[in-house]
Amino acid sequence: MTEINLTIDGVPVAVSPGTTVLEAARSAGIFIPTLCHDPELSSPGACRLCVVEIPGLRNLPASCVTTASEGMEVRTSSPAVVEARQTILELLLANHPVDCLTCHKNGNCRLADYAYRYGVREERFHGEKHAYPVEEDNSFIVRDMNKCILCGKCVRMCAEVQGNNVVDFAFRGFNTKVAPALNTGLAGPDADCVFCGNCVAVCPVGALAERDMLGKGRYWEIDRVRTTCPYCGTGCTLDLNVKDGRVIGVTSAADGDVNGRALCVKGRFGYGFIHHPDRLKTPLIKRDGRLEEATWDEALAEIAQRMGTVKAGHGADAVGVFSSARCTNEENYLMMKLARAVFGTNNVDHCARL
């Protein structure tokens, strides 16, 4: 396929036909800020923060929706571009809370990062500000619509990746907000939210947050340990957020091989068992009617002895094996081989069927 040759900030770049200017710049390691754009979602070109200057065009086009063409010259940091980005940031901050010191997103907020990068330090535009109540009507997600910048990423994530279409833009003008049907909360009877939290994963500001992670630690204090979700055989990648040796939350990562940033409600929020006080940490054997702690050798010997007794007294068909979707495929295969080759039974079942 013939390549498209263009120049970005004086750097020659060759890309495939159909590549956007933003994608071309990123392939060359050239920075262009974005708020509404996401490589996993469609590009609406809404926030205009990614504008660039292209000689011959009358206006500053949004690079995320402008297709690269042969011989195109692009300037990503000309005075006109920098001024436009500063003005956009000033307009966003004119109706945005300035509680950055206590905001959960502090340290991982694109709006704050860009304001710092472009020297936007104080409000130049003054006027009415929203005063929406913070929505805490469900057990998983906290929504603070006062911090929403209307980038629409949560709307597109819910529609295009999750396929639920729970939220969309409501009202018009200054009153525009992202809301479920009839402007109810996510826990409302008409919302149909499955609480996957994928909207939280793409929110660039503090409008959406994981409820159980609020107040547990600052972004820079948390270690992120890459692992695989244990709940089913899909093998989604996730990051355990660890502080002081305890898991305080789960987040997804864009470079997840299977799932990207998408997770289900169990994968993202079902981690409470890790530090639950009732969690079993050692095998238990019932002796004289009471469960007592035992070693693994004792537990396995007890299982082997009792299984052998059942098989000897009632035959192999009296034995059944029940496996788990939370095991790996290899572990389930070994369990099946143990049942058929060692116990001699075909009574094998799996929790994912129930």
Do the domain assignments include residue 170?
no
Q: Is the dihedral of CA 215, 218, 219, 224 positive or negative?
A: negative
268 and 329 share one domain:
no
215-257 pLDDT tens trace? 999 999 999 999 998 888 788 999 999 999 999 999 999 998 8
Return the pLDDT at 353. 66
Q: Are 207 and 220 in contact (CB under 8 A)?
A: no
Half-sphere exposure of 126 (CA within 13 A, CB side): 1
Return the pLDDT at 167. 95
Hey, how many other C-beta atoms are within 10 angstroms of the C-beta on 220? 8
How many structural domains is the chain composed of? Answer: 3
Return the pLDDT at 33. 98
Do the domain assignments include residue 314?
yes
pTM: 0.85
Q: What is the CATH number of the domain that holds 40?
A: 3.10.20.740
Return the pLDDT at 155. 97
Do the domain assignments include residue 233?
yes
Given a cut of 70, the residues of the chain with pLDDT beneath it are: 1, 353-354
Report the Cα 42 to chain-centroid distance in Å: 17
298 and 254 share one domain:
no
Return the pLDDT at 184. 85
Return the pLDDT at 53. 98
Do the domain assignments include residue 315?
yes
11 and 60 share one domain:
yes
Do the domain assignments include residue 326?
yes
Token representation of residue 119: 């020297």
Closest by CA position to 25, among listed 36, 38, 14: 14
Token representation of residue 234: 């899909």
**Domain span at 232:** 218-279
Domain boundary among 77, 98, 129: 77
Do the domain assignments include residue 261?
yes
272 and 289 share one domain:
no
Closest by CA position to 248, among listed 144, 108, 104, 143: 104
Half-sphere exposure of 86 (CA within 13 A, CB side): 15
Return the pLDDT at 1. 55
Q: What is the CATH number of the domain that holds 235?
A: 2.20.25.90
156-184 pLDDT tens trace? 999 999 999 999 999 999 999 999 988 88
Q: Are 238 and 268 in contact (CB under 8 A)?
A: yes
16 and 50 share one domain:
yes
